[in-house]
Amino acid sequence: MTQAKPIMLHGKPLADGATPVLCTPLVGVDRGELLGEITSVLPTRPDLIEWRADYFAALADTDQVIDTARALKAACLGLPILFTRRMASEGGRSVSLSEPRVVQLYEAVCAARCVDLIDYELSNPGEAFERLRVASHSHDIAMVASYHNFQSTPAFEALLAKFREAQSRGADVGKVAVMPESPADVLTLLAATYQASTSLDIPLISMSMGGYGSVSRMIGGVFGSALTFAVGKSSSAPGQIAIDELRAVLATVRRSVGTA
């Protein structure tokens, strides 16, 4: 159906190579809430779980973070986990940790091997990014290099440059999420995704957010996006669709495009 390259984890394609894969976020503030979310989410059969750790109240306690990650790993019954501290300037919750301490936390999580992927923003300092690239690769953890713009959709060439930057900096996956001001902005995002997917070697994730952008979550795979986010219990970004509804739409798109 798609030009998307599969995301590789531990030498194997995520979800057996089917794209786009379905990822569901967890946004609980403590271990109990997170485990409750897992109980609700597992019956919806996502391919990947994202732990949005910027929502976690004890983020400054590395031991608690690692213990909670291990508990989630056990509760996920084999589903891989993406660990994300989304920075406030790119749509995340404000946290009390300085960026150097955030980097140390990521390094500890990688060393503990309690997750399968990490997400780190391209806008972070080069030294910090490189430290996490080395830490993740040293422990067989995939690194997603991401860019988020909650105000607007940059021009085609600027979006393409973000995908290229993710590859040039050694990430395993490049991610771009932007906010459209019109349907034309959604087309810009999809066009940039398609161009990048046909010219770069790494798998890509892209989405246009909000109401207009919700269509990109349904058809992004046709243009080269390897993953789409869906609501299991709670949303982590505007425009996310309930996972059961999105799965049905993706099945229809696959059938339709497959007969083209």
Whether 139 is a known active-site residue: answer no
Q: What span, in angstroms and rounded, lies between the C-alpha atoms of 181 and 199?
A: 27
Cβ neighbors of 91 (< 8 A, separation 6 or more) are 148, 150, 177, 237
Cβ neighbors of 73 (< 8 A, separation 6 or more) are 81, 114, 115
Q: Which is the catalytic residue, given 5, 162, 175, 233? A: 175
Whether 137 is a known active-site residue: answer no
Residue 168 CB coordination number (10 Å): 12
Asked if 110 and 99 touch (Cβ cutoff 8 Å), the reply is no
Q: Which is the catalytic residue, given 73, 148, 162, 233? A: 148
Retrieve residue 169's tokens. Answer: 């900096």
Asked if 200 and 163 touch (Cβ cutoff 8 Å), the reply is yes
Q: Mind telling me the catalytic residues? A: 148, 175
